[in-house]
A and B are shown apart, each in its own frame.
Chain A
Amino acid sequence: MQEKNTKERVIQIKDVYKSFGDLHILKGVNLELFSGENVVVLGRSGTGKSVLIKIISGLLMPDRGIVNVLGRSVPDLNRKQLSELRLDIGFSFQNSALYDSMTVRENLEFPLIRNIKNLSRQEINNSVEKVLESVGLIQTIHQMPSELSGGQRKRIGIARTLIMNPKIMLYDEPTAGLDPITCNEINQLMNDVKDEYNTSSIIITHDLTCAKDTGDRVAMLLDGKFTEAMTFEQLFATQEERIQEFYEYNFIQ
């Protein structure tokens, strides 16, 4: 905790509320992310984990509360300012969200070409090859997303965000629906991304192995509010019944 205070705060979520009609999802959520750390957000399905990172990236607006990302208040940004901020945020979607009609190369080029003008073909090719090598999938460069396995799609989804060199990574259920070996590879990749690209990440998951392997701090979303973010071991040493229940159902040894 001492070390955390010396680092720059890149995300500050304070007293954030979000409802959909009568359904109150977030009820005064607080969370901070410091540079160079991975914070894992655990919670059961439907507790609002994905809603939280959509609020951080400006895809959803909070009903009230403070959402500061890299020193900018997200709800107060206009569209142009939000676009500028998003260049610093990488968002890896649960289902990868690769563009079906484009090849892997075109998927990766898309954000680059549209956001950085006057890049030469050589520079674009170099960037695409570099991120594909980072995720270990250079051989898929000409393939269509439909030809990729679930794990490969996740990796390409991450590569597509890395091509813009983001400062913050938001991972939505990065290991959902994958076999344990592929999960382990994705966990390793997220740690590599943190070291190689110097990113700070929020990782949304309900996979405790993922939380243990990737999280510097772990917080759990219960009844629309976070438990205090702490290390994996500290979190599951608490006597809170629902945390213990979550732990037991994940069969972790």
Chain B
Amino acid sequence: MQQNERPYVISKRIDGLFIGLKNGFDFFIRFFRELFSNPFEFKEIVRQCYRIGLQSLLLISMTGFITGMVFTKQSRPSLLDFGAESWLPSLVAIAIVRALAPLITSLISAGKVGSSIGAELGSMRVTEQIDAMEVSAVNPFSFLVVTRIIATTITIPILSFYCAFVALMGSFLDVSLNENTNLIAFFEDAFEQITFLDINSALVKAIFYGFTIGMVGAYQGYNATNGTQGVGKAANTAVVTSMFLIFLEEVFIVQITNWFR
């Protein structure tokens, strides 16, 4: 029985951190292993994509629209000082496509979808529903975890581009209220400075963010302990950790993208 008595190497907290990192890495590796194992849960992936998309659509629409509008309002005075008001659509489009849309979408999704995945799987864990799947000879990791991570990885990029479109519509509303312009002219101006690299980097960012939200939410929920308290903790930690990782990824991806400019 001695093998179970593990004294702390440094301290309980620091040991716990390293054990958590190791478990997280194992979970990450397991995802890729299970991704290519049978059965491929196509129906469940579609169901989760639909659910995640629907869950965030209204919030992303509202936030995106307001962000586009506010960003335009705040940028106008500075551009006016330099007599460069005509650059407004381009400036807004660059900011939205390159940074704001993927970031807003992922932060909202981290709060809405990440917490929901953490709480749902956490609740399934503490009420033994995951164990029930396992003893029914169903692979719960493949059915619950892999499907949700794939769904967020697919859905967040789609929502990001949708958010960019809605934000540009918000910007157009503000521009059209102050200047004599039409939708086509606005979008022509807006996309004048947008390059293929901008779209690609936004797509790559959104894919990484989506994967992170799914992975962190699923990890926290799947490994929840301590009853209902553990469910709350799983949801909360899922949001905080995924937001932190999203900002960290933002720094790296922007840096890498800049090397190609």
Where the two chains meet, the residues of A that have a C-beta atom closer than 8 Å to any C-beta of B are: 17, 19-22, 24, 54, 57-59, 63, 83-84, 86-87, 89, 91, 93-95, 97-100, 110-111, 114-115, 160-161, 164
Find out whether the CB atom of B137 lies under 8 angstroms from the CB atom of A100. Answer: no
Find out whether the CB atom of B137 lies under 8 angstroms from the CB atom of A83. Answer: yes
21 contacts between A and B (CB under 8 A): A21-B5, A22-B4, A58-B135, A63-B4, A86-B134, A86-B135, A89-B135, A91-B131, A97-B129, A97-B131, A99-B129, A99-B132, A100-B127, A110-B138, A111-B136, A111-B138, A114-B138, A115-B137, A115-B138, A160-B132, A160-B136
- Could you say which residues of chain A place their CB within 8 Å of the CB of B10? none
Encoded as 1 (CB less than 8 Å from any A CB) or 0, chain B from 1 to 22 comes to: 1011110000000000000000
Q: Contacts A57-B135, A110-B136; is A63 near B129 (CB within 8 Å)?
A: no
With an 8 Å Cβ cutoff, the count of chain B residues facing the other chain is 20
Q: Provide the bound-state CA to CA distance between A110 and B135, in Å.
A: 12
Find out whether the CB atom of A19 lies under 8 angstroms from the CB atom of B131. Answer: no
What 10 pairs between A and B have smallest CB-CB spacing?
A97-B132, A111-B136, A97-B128, A91-B135, A83-B137, A86-B137, A19-B4, A114-B138, A93-B128, A57-B135
Where the two chains meet, the residues of B that have a C-beta atom closer than 8 Å to any C-beta of A are: 1, 3-6, 39, 123-124, 127-129, 131-132, 134-139, 143
- Could you say which residues of chain B place their CB within 8 Å of the CB of A95? 127-128
Find out whether the CB atom of A97 lies under 8 angstroms from the CB atom of B127. Answer: yes
Q: Which of B5, B124, B128, B137 contacts A84 (CB 8 A)?
A: B137
Find out whether the CB atom of A21 lies under 8 angstroms from the CB atom of B132. Answer: no
Q: Which of A20, A58, A99, A100 contacts B4 (CB 8 A)?
A: A20
Q: Provide the bound-state CA to CA distance between A95 and B129, in Å.
A: 9
